Structure 1
Amino acid sequence: MHSVDLGSGGGGASRSFGERLFGALKLDASVYEEVEHDTSALGQAATVVLLAGFAQSVAAFGELGAGGALANLAGSFLGWAIGAGIVWVIGVKIMNCTSDFGELLRTLGFATAPGILGALGVLPWGEWGWVLGIAIFALSVVAAVIAVRQALDVSTGRAIVVCIIANLVPVVLILILSIVLVGAGVGVPTPADPGAMGF
């Protein structure tokens, strides 16, 4: 529906899951457009989230341990759902864009595909490990923008604004909660990763 002008790569309908996954990794906007309209692709999107979360958990297993790895994997699904919900509120309810929660779940699920590259973290990167981290982060940001743009049918600029606001929401909520808890003498919660919203 939306013109494919960022990360476009063509491609027809009825692509296999593998083709969609590879296309999402290549930032092929037509893949995100395809899964937006394919109501049967929610399971595929969940599989991408699972693969990305598993890859990152495996790479960080030495630091997190089994419990931490499982918590990280569960957090991937929680962040995916919450992130889609926040974008839905901002894009559909506030900005009056045309989309639904399912479309955002599907596109943002595939947008987590770059996280699969986190499995490369098991390699001996040494002092260059940050390069992999930055590369995955950059790919994830672009993928999220494309996913939001295709799902909401907005310009790239507006999609960027939505993504920025969506990632600021949990930060603001945590700051407010921290102020309330400190005022009540309870203590301050550990700030969450802004990127934990699944994109």
Structure 2
Amino acid sequence: MDFALFWKRIKRAALLDIHLYEEVEADRETIGQAGLVVVLSGLAAGIGSLSHGGLGGLVGITLASLVSWGVWAYLTYYIGTRLLPEPQTSSDPGELLRAIGFASSPGLIRVFGIVPGLTAVLNLAAGVWMLVAMVIAVRQALDYHSTWRAIGVCLIGWIIQTAILLLAFWIFGLGKPPGAV
């Protein structure tokens, strides 16, 4: 792997370069790079929250990032191509995996959350930044003309993924079911 090109792509993704999202959508060889961006973003979040989550949190956040990436990409694919397609929409799950993986690039700033007092601010900033990147990635990967449609796909996917995560936490005893006392 060409690490110089990889880091340029991360930077371009974080700068919300729509051409980067088109590039990785079309290049099947970037799936490993997209996965690495997700892992690095998860590691950055885990390192940034070491004081709260410890080593277990680091591993948990990284693994959760990978699972969320896959779930999110497949949900987005289904919603974007089946429920809310535009006439020109043409995509496959791999295209969304690649584009959405690179949309995790802004999450790398979360590593600086290790500085006391910065964790919450950086998590919020990274979350908003990654959401904007996600909308751009979805718009490009699904060949949408409408940014609003991409926002709708992301919103519906987020609601479904959140419900799945809450259910999983409840099933595995990691939290109470919604509405439980």
Q: Does 1:135 align with 2:120?
A: no
Query: Which of residues 51, 59, 70 in structure 2 aligns to 1:70?
Result: 59
TM superposition score normalised by structure 1 = 0.77
CA distance in 2, matches of 1:33, 1:114: 18
Q: 1:50 touches 1:77 (CA, 8 Å); kept in 2?
A: yes
Do the aligned partners of 2:99 and 2:141 also contact (CA within 8 Å) in 1? yes
Contact 2:48 2:119 in 1 (8 A): no
Does residue 79 (structure 1) correspond to residue 68 (structure 2)? The answer is yes
Residue aligning to 1:6: none
Aligned pair count reads 169
Which structure 1 residue ranges, 5 or more long, are not aligned? 1-14, 193-199
**C-alpha deviations, 1:63-94, integer Å up to 9, x for none?**
21222221111111000000001001101122
Q: Pick from 157, 162, 168: which aligns with 1:166?
A: 157
Counterpart of 1:104? 96
Contact 2:51 2:114 survives alignment (8 Å)? no
- Select the structure of larger CA radius of gyration: 1
In 2, distance between residues paired with 1:54 and 1:104?
A: 22
Cα RMSD (Å): 2.5
Q: Is the 8 A contact 2:69 2:100 kept in 1?
A: yes
Compared CA separation, residues 120 and 174, structure 1 to 2 (3 A)? closer
Query: Shift of residue 59 of structure 1?
Result: 1.1
Cα distance, 1:187 vs. partner?
10
